Amino acid sequence: MSLPLALRGLFREGAWHAAAPFAEGAHAPGAHLDGDAVLDVHVRGKRYGERTLLNDFRLRMRPGEIVALLGASGCGKSTLLRLIAGLDSAYDGHVRVRGRAQDAPSTDVGFVFQEPRLFPWCSVADNVAFGQSGTAADGVHVAALLAEVGMAGRERALPKELSGGQAQRVALARGLAGQPRVLLLDEPFSAVDAFTRMKLQEMLVRLVQRHQVAALVVTHDIDEAAWLADRVLVLDADSGRLRHDVDVPIVRPRGREGGMLAAARARIFDALRDAHAF
Amino acid sequence: MISELQSPIGFVHTASEPSGDVVAVAARAGARRLGLRLLGALVPIAALLIAELANRAGWVTSNLLPAPSDVIRALFELGWRAVALHVATSTARVVAGYALGATSAVVVGSAVGLSRTARAILDPSFQALRAIPSLAWVPLLLLWLGIDEAPKLAMIAIGAFFPVYMGVVAGIRGVDGKLVEVARLMRLSPFALVRRVLLPAALPSVFTGLRNGLSLAWMFMVAAELIAATRGLGYLLTDGREMGRADLVLAAIVLLAILGKASDAAMASLERRSLAWRDAFEDNDSPGGAR
């Protein structure tokens, strides 16, 4: 084993992180993933009027990995998700999913928004199957997904009959309906109460592991980022560049308390302050 | 009202039997709703009674303001055959004219709502046409189409067109962009986007337009029949006026009220069924009957 690889191994075990407040300076962000990356993003820049966001932003993710994206409002987090989803192709750079260019929406990428965005005239099952074809639209597949998100037996319910948390569960099932490789989540749990949020976070981790998707979560919640993510990316408020790439090397299942988690929270907090997020 | 008389102890007692309590609350709510609805009948019933009484007592000249019983008698004197003929004629005109106007409004409105180009080309003209009081078309329609059925249908269609057009355009243009974004993620074709997202999302506004258009269709039917007709409720109105028969005029008005209300109730019921998915305040306490 070569020395860099050994170092990288150390990195992923988190031996360094427990001690060092900042470890990200030591390696190029996103570079510590090799051939098994399912998502490969390199944005050289995204013009936004006078500003250029996401300058030289690189991200590689492997299946089953959860990356949290933090930063001040307007620093480019949601823009990045839209680029990856193929909703916006007016930028300099590339997004590849499984090696294929993602310049238009595809089944390889699922999206969960802050609001459930369910079609109110469609039943729960029709919402999950919406726009899908083949097995993804199959009733058995849909019912299985709904069971996974704890909504078994609610196939025929209308969105108006659901609570906010239930609707977001259905939105998660819909995000996974096309059997995507990448799942993008834009502040998915910010509109639900704290208790529901914890349950949904636990469910998301289960879903990511079972479906082996690469999950990129935009959040404003430091606790959520620390508990949920394998890595936390922090964008700079002013320049919209990637400022920090914080590893959270805590084994799963994770507890809600403990020194490792507290240390991760502290590192994320420091990174955010450094990125002028507040 | 019972609930307000109940003592706190009474509440504690009923709270121990939740299912019975729920039923009681529902029954009370139902009774209250019925009571409120009956309150709405209070004014018309009182007005009818006063009109009847005023006539019997000779306070008003009965050939100008006939008693309600005279109005009913006038209907019976006409005979059910004649009444049915007038009603059927007018209804058929409204149905045909409304179908013509509403259908073309849905087609044109969809085009204007969906396509920026169609909007740029058509909308200014239709907004200008809308500004013309529709009755101003009457002389022109008579010149062009004669005094037969054609001008009547054209008038009703014009009357029904604009509310429906406005409803369709506003409905489609007001569709939540967030839902359209979801549809884009799902790679919907333009046609599927229209059919599966834009039209369903626009439906509440379309229905508002359809209902407004329907009431205008009745209005324009009367206007058309007042001008030139040999049968229909508008004709009955003119005939009653020319013969100085206020009872006939009022009988025609009553029939128009019934028809208008019935057709709107039918449309409202269709709307409620089509929009059952809507999470709206108004639907939560109206399990039946038109508003």
The pLDDT mean for chain A works out to 87
For chain A, state the CA radius of gyration.
19
The confidence score (pLDDT) of residue A6 equals 43
Among B288, B254, B261, B256, residue whose Cα is nearest residue B272 = B288
Strands A231-235 and A242-247: antiparallel
Structure tokens at A216: 């990129």
Helix B246-274 to helix B68-78 angle (10° resolution) is: 90
Going by C-beta distance under 8 Å and a sequence separation of 6 or more, which residues neighbour residue A33? Answer: A60, A61, A62
**CB B75 within 8 Å of CB B83:** yes
By CA distance, what is B184's nearest residue in A?
A105
| Helix%, strand%, coil% for chain A, nearest 5 | 35, 20, 45
**Predicted TM-score (pTM) of this structure:** 0.78
In this complex, the residue of A111, A115, A158 whose CB is nearest that of residue B185 is A111
Contacting residues of B for A132, CB less than 8 Å apart? 186
**CB B211 within 8 Å of CB B267:** yes
- A–B interface: beta-carbon pairs under 8 A: 49
CA distance A178 to chain B (A): 9
Asked if the model's pLDDT at residue A120 lies above 70, the reply is yes
Segment (H or E) for A218: strand A214-218
Segment (H or E) for A148: helix A139-148
**CB B216 within 8 Å of CB B228:** no
Indicate the pLDDT class of residue B137, thresholds 50, 70 and 90: confident
Q: What confidence tens digit (pLDDT) does each residue in A171-204 have?
A: 999 999 999 999 999 999 999 999 999 999 999 9
In this structure, whether the domain defined by B79-285 belongs to CATH 1.10.3720.10 is answered with yes
Which of helix, strand or coil describes residue A194?
A: helix
Structure tokens at A230: 């394998």
Asked if the model's pLDDT at residue B62 lies above 70, the reply is yes
Going from the N-terminus, what domains does chain A have, and what CATH number goes with each? 3-120+163-274 (3.40.50.300)
Asked if the model's pLDDT at residue B11 lies above 50, the reply is no
Contacting residues of A for B276, CB less than 8 Å apart? 158
Q: Does B276 touch chain A (CB under 8 A)?
A: yes
Report the share of chain B in percent with pLDDT over 90.
Answer: 69
A115 contacts B279? CB cut-off 8 A: no
Cβ neighbours of B261 (radius 10 Å):
11
Q: Write down the number of H helices and E strands in chain A.
A: 8, 11
The confidence score (pLDDT) of residue B281 equals 61
CA distance B185 to chain A (A): 5
The confidence score (pLDDT) of residue A122 equals 96
Structure tokens at B291: 């508003």
Q: Which of B185, B195, B279 has the highest number of chain A CBs within 10 A, making it the mutation to test binding with A? A: B185
Asked if the model's pLDDT at residue A4 lies above 50, the reply is no
Phi, psi of A94, rounded to the nearest 5 degrees: -145, 155
Q: Write the Ramachandran bin of B187: left for phi over 0, alpha for psi from -120 to 50, otherwise beta.
A: left
Residue A179 burial by CB count (10 A; 0-12/13-18/19+): exposed, middle or buried?
Answer: middle
Residues B41, B99: Cα–Cα separation, whole Å: 33
A105 contacts B277? CB cut-off 8 A: no
Asked if the model's pLDDT at residue B206 lies above 80, the reply is yes
CA distance B184 to chain A (A): 7
In this complex, the residue of B178, B203, B279 whose CB is nearest that of residue A117 is B178
Where do we find the tokens 């300076």? A25
Cβ neighbours of A80 (radius 10 Å):
30
**CB A53 within 8 Å of CB A240:** yes
Q: Residue A106 to residues A132, A135, A182, B184, B242: CA-CA distances in angstroms?
A: 11, 16, 10, 10, 73
Among A200, A122, A131, residue whose Cα is nearest residue A166 = A200
Structure tokens at A26: 């030591």
Contacting residues of B for A87, CB less than 8 Å apart? 181, 184-185
Domain residue spans of chain B: 2-40, 79-285
Lowest mean pLDDT among A6-15, A95-104, A107-116, B17-26: A6-15
Asked if the model's pLDDT at residue A15 lies above 60, the reply is no
Which of helix, strand or coil describes residue A52?
A: strand
**CB A195 within 8 Å of CB A43:** no
Indicate the pLDDT class of residue B282, thresholds 50, 70 and 90: low
**CB B271 within 8 Å of CB B207:** yes
Residues A89, A97: Cα–Cα separation, whole Å: 15
A130 contacts B186? CB cut-off 8 A: yes
Q: What confidence tens digit (pLDDT) does each residue in A40-98 have?
A: 999 999 998 888 889 999 999 999 999 999 998 888 899 999 999 999 999 999 999 99
The confidence score (pLDDT) of residue A203 equals 97
Among A227, A246, A260, residue whose Cα is nearest residue A23 = A246
A158 contacts B179? CB cut-off 8 A: no
Report the share of chain A in percent with pLDDT over 90.
Answer: 76
User: What secondary structure letter does DSSP report for B69?
Assistant: H
Residues B291, B285: Cα–Cα separation, whole Å: 11
CA distance A155 to chain B (A): 14
Q: Which of A130, A161, A170 has the highest number of chain B CBs within 10 A, making it the mutation to test binding with B? A: A130
Which of helix, strand or coil describes residue A224?
A: helix
Bigger pLDDT: B63 or A236?
A: A236
Average pLDDT over residues B104-113: 95
